[in-house]
Amino acid sequence: MTNSIGMQFVSIDSGTFVMGQDGPETDHQMMKHPEKFDDADADEKPAHRVTISQPFQMSVMEVTLGQYRQFKPDHLKHGTDSDAVTQVSWKDAVSFCEWLSAKEQQPYRLPTEAEWEYACRSGSSTLFHTGDSLPPGFQKWSSDIGFRDRYFKGAVLPTEYRTEVSRLDMLRGGQTPANAWGLKDMHGNVSEWCADWYGPYQTGSQTDALGPNDGDFRVFRGGHHSIFTRVLRSANRSAWLPESSSDRIGFRVVLGLPPKGANTPPAPTPLNGQNVSQSLAKIPTVSEDAPLFEGPRPFVKIARNSYGPLFFRHNHSPSITECPNGDLLAVWYSCANEDGAELSNVASRLRRGTSDWEPASVFWDGPDVNDHAPKVWWDGEKTLFNFVRGLRENLVRTSTDNGATWSKARLIQPPGEFGNQVIRLHDGTLVLGHDSRQVSLVTSTDAGESWTFNDVKQRVSDFQPGGQGFRYPGIHAPMIQLKDGGIMAMSRLDPPEDQEKFQFKTPVSFTADLGKTWAYEASVFPAISSVQRAAMIRLQDGSILFCSFTDQWRDWKNRRGMTFKNSSGEFTGFGLFVALSYDEGKTWPIRRLVTPGGKKIQVNTIDQVEFTMSDTYAEPCGYLAVTQTRDGAIQLITSKNHYWFNTAWIKALPSHSN
């Protein structure tokens, strides 16, 4: 059958198949074995029998750009009519189906996830409808050259990949053989939206299986060009926000009434959201009469050899906030590879009145989407904010019940990693740094309802002391508002040639116009680089707290340390330190190495790095995040450990060093 806009359909009979994939789970270590594709993802289990009770018709090809333009004539300014349409959200795809249904008086819709996998397998039970491997040259991969070469390191790719692909052919469908039922591009080309909300599989046989009746993410299937073939497996699952669009996601349609199966239950509430107290008990102030210090105590608690969605291998880029009920909530990302699709956002809670962080649990994770570098922040009243980089956009969610539940995500532009913590200015403006070199600050003047940003694309800054420009240099800059209303940022600048301009010191930048223009100086603190991020906040007593490292991790073997004071005079210390300024960052007279001192202890830090902590050695690396809780205590975390102390401890002189 061919419809009025040229879409060809094949009939799919009812039947029963095994949905999902059992067997060994992948470790997602694609840097180690990028050619491997046969292991299962955790969310593909358990494999289970599904009966499709009613026949339907499915389009042979993905909806093309030409067909979609009959619905929206102005969609995309580039591309040919034979390309698979992309840059369509799930909602756009549903609207297209509604338009086509009205036009032809026929029930067009998106396939359910079960219908999609049933049709893709087309009677097969192998990894792909082609068997347990893809034929030579099946998977197009000519874009994302840097990403491809990072994993395959310039080597010849396995035979199933095709790298010599013209730009005109990257999205053109029908270049690979159809499956046994006549459907093309069920593996690759572009991913395809399905009707269902994403949720965990259930055990036992099902008829006309449907996802949950609500959720955060809509399913998309099939994989796309320029990605590992394991993502193209018939069982592989992906999902993202229904409002989001991507240059790698399109859709195909089915013709037939929706199935009347039962919705599966939603995912169980993760530990970090269970039994969360909603009380607002009075919190006593921590005494400043004597130095108080606790730590290091790990907040990242993940079982060894856990490969998803909690990963023991790499846990990084944390954020921490106090909740209205007095709990501490830490969030971070967990993965095998930082740019891998397996990356997930996880969290742990230190409940008020307890001394140990709970085991990590999933916080929020779009399957097969690298939702990167989460941030959490409490507005001091009733609302928690969660920010994260998404697929092709940034996102914000809120919670008004201490993080037990969260709102649906709202999209924020521009895409890119938020650099460090949120700050709130005297006039209520919320400010976030942004690590894209084309953006300065991201701001909201209406308590987070809407956001705008300084676009500095194609504007050149003079990154050197005494220079001026349009954003702060480098990345990951913590910021505070100065008493004169301006903003001060301390950033990480990685390239040695750029560090040299600042005498290998951390750059400090100042803006008086909300990030439109900046002036640069060299701070007194050593430069930091990869695997390190500084933190800075204004304390309740008005002083500024800065947290960083004495040496660059990449040059740790040649470390020089910093001079610190103790009760006997001075000593050279190495690693994590804190400093206080009482004159708006002009001077930093008080500095202390973050270590309990005394007996040497072995401490585990990021990526299972072991070091010996002593009077003179603190953690050498990690991403820092810090907050001061209502009781006056300072809560500092690295990529692995939590430290608790008061300002009296920072000011006190250690008794000795050895």
> What six digits make up the tokens of 4?
């009025």
- In 3D space, the residue among 417, 66, 410 whose CA is nearest the CA of residue 250 turns out to be 66
CATH architecture for residues 9-27+49-255: Alpha-Beta Complex (3.90)
Strands 191-197, 249-250: pairing kind: parallel
Distances (CA, A) of 188 to 122, 141, 157, 370: 16, 10, 17, 19
pLDDT above 70 covers a percentage of the chain that reads 99
pLDDT of residue 657: 53
- Burial zone of 649 (CB within 10 Å; 0-12 exposed, 13-18 middle, 19+ buried): buried
Q: Which residues of 457-474 are buried (b: 16+ CB within 10 A; e: fewer)?
A: eeeebebbeebebbbbbb
pLDDT of residue 152: 87
With contact defined as beta carbons under 8 Å apart, do 172 and 250 qualify?
no
Could you give phi then psi for residue 42, rounded to 5 degrees? -60, -35
Mean pLDDT for 435-464 is 90
Give dist(CA 217, CA 265) in Å, integer.
Answer: 15
Q: Is the pTM of this model over 0.75?
A: yes
pLDDT of residue 265: 95
In tens, the pLDDT along 63-73 reads 999 999 999 99
Chain mean position to CA 353: 30
In tens, the pLDDT along 134-172 reads 999 999 998 677 788 888 877 689 999 998 888 888 999
Number of other residues whose CB lies within 10 A of the CB of residue 426:
8
In tens, the pLDDT along 638-654 reads 999 999 999 999 999 99
In tens, the pLDDT along 509-540 reads 999 999 999 999 999 999 999 999 999 999 99
pLDDT of residue 655: 86
Q: Name the pLDDT band for 456 (thresholds 50, 70, 90).
A: confident
- Burial zone of 234 (CB within 10 Å; 0-12 exposed, 13-18 middle, 19+ buried): buried
pLDDT of residue 90: 99
Mean pLDDT computed over every residue of the chain: 95
Three state DSSP letters for 370-385: CCEEEEEEECCCCCEE
* Domain parsing of the chain, residue ranges: 9-27+49-255, 268-297+306-381, 423-431+459-527, 528-658
Mean pLDDT for 20-46 is 94
Strands 206-207, 161-162: pairing kind: unpaired
In tens, the pLDDT along 66-112 reads 999 999 999 998 999 999 999 999 999 999 999 999 999 999 999 99
Q: Over 80: is that where the pLDDT of 458 sits?
A: no
Residues 6+ apart with CB under 8 A from 295: 594, 596, 641, 642, 643, 644, 645
Q: Mind giving me the DSSP string for 243-277?
A: T---TTEE---EESPPP--PBPPPPPPPGGGSS--
3-state class (DSSP) for residue 113: helix
Give dist(CA 631, CA 291) in Å, integer.
Answer: 15
Peptide bond into 177 cis (omega under 30): no
Give dist(CA 221, CA 600) in Å, integer.
Answer: 52
pLDDT of residue 142: 81
Mean pLDDT for 329-352 is 96
CA angle (565, 567, 572) in 5-degree steps: 35
Give dist(CA 552, CA 529) in Å, integer.
Answer: 6
With contact defined as beta carbons under 8 Å apart, do 373 and 418 qualify?
yes
Q: Over 70: is that where the pLDDT of 367 sits?
A: yes
> DSSP alpha helices (H): ranges in 457-563?
496-501
Residue type, 364: W
With contact defined as beta carbons under 8 Å apart, do 259 and 115 qualify?
yes
pLDDT of residue 658: 46
Bridge partner list, 284? none
In tens, the pLDDT along 608-638 reads 899 999 999 999 999 999 999 999 999 999 9
* Cα atoms found within 13 Å of the Cα of residue 393, Cβ hemisphere only: 18
pLDDT of residue 92: 99
